[in-house]
Amino acid sequence: MVRIRMTDIIPLIGIPEPKQGAIKYDIPCPCCDDKPKGKHLNINLELDVFRCPRCGFSGGVFDLYAFYSGVNRKNAREVLLARLDLRDGNRAATTVPRQKLLQPQSIDCPITDLDTRHETYTSLLSRLSLASDHRQNLLNRGLTDEMIQCLGYKTTPMVGTTILAKQLLSEGFYLSGVPGFYHNDEGQWTFIKNFRGILIPVRNHEGKIQGLQLRRDDVSKRKFRWVSSAGRQDGSKAECWTHLVGPPQETVIITEGPMKADVIYALTGQSVLAVPGVNSLNHLKATLKYLKENGTKQIMTAFDMDYLTNPHVTNGYRDLSSILATLGLPYGTFLWNPDHKGLDDYVWEYCYHQGS
Ligand SMILES: [Zn+2]
């Protein structure tokens, strides 16, 4: 049987053409891109599929042809065989390597853009509440109710997640490509609910929510996790985003974890950049570059004390030092009494308990 390829139909439907030799490329999505520069629809010329991670518009060669030409999807193959003059098998059927056909298609959805994630997460959090045990936990760190509200911390929803997703969709928010959301076995959008805990918005320099972290209840190891729906149908994997709180001051502290950063900033007014861990520095360089261009002159690193003793942490710390050196940002290290595990404990102790 003759195989009709994406490359066969692209000239027929008048969409932008791929660059020579490209195996995939992006074009404006006909379903959701309203900005002139939006290019969310990804066309894969190797697998002959297309997908928009933002709105979920996806399919194969015949779907794309039917959409643009107005031909009924059922007749698309016949129509194309005629238009391309392939009815008598004029072209040797393109052979697809067997291995490729057997490979399971990834069920994950590529991550959507920052603005879309920010809007969806903001709306999601506005519908959730903060449980009293979580509120107390945050008050114990020195935050006030006003600060907590400003930060947008909420308790994970443990019931009603499909209803929540339905409400978001009906109000025009995109769930496709937003980590945490996925399709359940009934084919409905829903939000992940593996663990109860505090949801922490992870924001960029404009205060936009890039992703969410979860502080899990009742665990002592790996307490903080990214909210991710990787491995679920149409789910998305979180990236290791950085979290910046406060303006680009002359001195900015780097620490581990967004909650710690929020607490330090709230209690001291000192701007803090949080990295998700010293071993995941991939988004850090861009944020440091932004800070440097906007007036930051030095960096103080303040990680949990175990970087002094844990060899893996020490390696990550060396990588961080080399990024800072490359950017020409002088840096120093806050050292404090190892009895205080992190800087937020230290700040709390010294600002509020000493002499009071
Ligand atoms: Zn779209």
Query: What pLDDT, on the 0 to 100 scale, is given for residue 310?
Result: 67
Give backbone dihedrals phi and psi of 148, rounded to 5 degrees, phi first: -60, -40
> In the structure, what pLDDT confidence band is assigned to residue 234 with cuts at 50, 70 and 90?
confident
Q: Is the pLDDT of residue 289 over 70?
A: yes
CA angle 58, 212, 338 (to 5 degrees): 145
Average pLDDT over residues 330-342: 67
Query: What pLDDT, on the 0 to 100 scale, is given for residue 1?
Result: 74
Output the CA 53–ligand 1 centroid distance in Å.
7
pLDDT digits (tens, 9 = 90+) for 40-89: 899 999 999 999 888 888 999 999 999 988 889 999 999 998 888 877 66
> In the structure, what pLDDT confidence band is assigned to residue 103 with cuts at 50, 70 and 90?
very low
Query: What pLDDT, on the 0 to 100 scale, is given for residue 38?
Result: 82
Query: Domains of the chain: which residue ranges?
Result: 6-102, 114-226, 243-353
Output the CA 248–ligand 1 centroid distance in Å.
35
* SS3 state at 300: strand
Query: What pLDDT, on the 0 to 100 scale, is given for residue 261?
Result: 93
Candidates 3.40.50.970, 3.40.1360.10, 3.40.50.720, 3.40.50.2300; correct CATH number of 243-353? 3.40.1360.10
Output the CA 187–ligand 1 centroid distance in Å.
19
Report the mean per-residue pLDDT for the chain: 85
Output the CA 27–ligand 1 centroid distance in Å.
10
Report the C-alpha gap between 10 and 122 in whole angstroms.
Answer: 38
The class that CATH gives domain 6-102 is: alpha beta
Average pLDDT over residues 142-161: 95
CB 235 within 8 A of CB 179: yes
Output the CA 176–ligand 1 centroid distance in Å.
9
Give, as one character, the DSSP assignment of residue 237: P
Report the C-alpha gap between 273 and 213 in whole angstroms.
Answer: 15
Q: What percent of the chain has pLDDT over 70?
A: 83
pLDDT digits (tens, 9 = 90+) for 258-285: 999 999 899 889 999 998 766 677 788 8
Report the C-alpha gap between 269 and 247 in whole angstroms.
Answer: 10
Strands 272-275, 251-256: pairing kind = parallel
pLDDT digits (tens, 9 = 90+) for 301-323: 877 656 556 666 667 677 788 88
Amino acid at 355: G
Output the CA 169–ligand 1 centroid distance in Å.
14
Report the C-alpha gap between 323 and 288 in whole angstroms.
Answer: 9
Report the C-alpha gap between 273 and 249 in whole angstroms.
Answer: 11
Output the CA 54–ligand 1 centroid distance in Å.
5
128-132, 175-179, 325-329 — most confident range: 128-132
Q: Is the pLDDT of residue 343 over 50?
A: yes
Q: Which residues contact 294 (CB under 8 A, 6 or more apart)?
A: 248
Report the C-alpha gap between 44 and 24 in whole angstroms.
Answer: 4
Query: What pLDDT, on the 0 to 100 scale, is given for residue 153?
Result: 98
Output the CA 33–ligand 1 centroid distance in Å.
6
CB 61 within 8 A of CB 73: no
Q: Is the pLDDT of residue 97 over 50?
A: no
Output the CA 173–ligand 1 centroid distance in Å.
12
Query: What pLDDT, on the 0 to 100 scale, is given for residue 245?
Result: 96
Query: What pLDDT, on the 0 to 100 scale, is given for residue 101?
Result: 42
Output the CA 138–ligand 1 centroid distance in Å.
39
Sheet holding 272-275, edge to edge: 243-245, 272-275, 251-256, 298-301, 331-333
Output the CA 109–ligand 1 centroid distance in Å.
13
> In Å, how far from its chain's centre is CA 267?
28
Output the CA 210–ligand 1 centroid distance in Å.
19
Query: What pLDDT, on the 0 to 100 scale, is given for residue 356?
Result: 32
Report the C-alpha gap between 269 and 74 in whole angstroms.
Answer: 63
With 0-12 / 13-18 / 19 or more C-beta atoms within 10 angstroms meaning exposed / middle / buried, residue 60 is: middle
For 320, how many CA atoms within 13 A lie in the half-sphere containing its CB?
29
Tell me yes or no: is domain 114-226 CATH 3.90.980.10.
Answer: yes
> In Å, how far from its chain's centre is CA 241?
7
Average pLDDT over residues 225-240: 90
Query: What pLDDT, on the 0 to 100 scale, is given for residue 348?
Result: 55
CB 225 within 8 A of CB 180: no
Output the CA 67–ligand 1 centroid distance in Å.
13
Output the CA 269–ligand 1 centroid distance in Å.
41
Q: Is the pLDDT of residue 353 over 50?
A: no
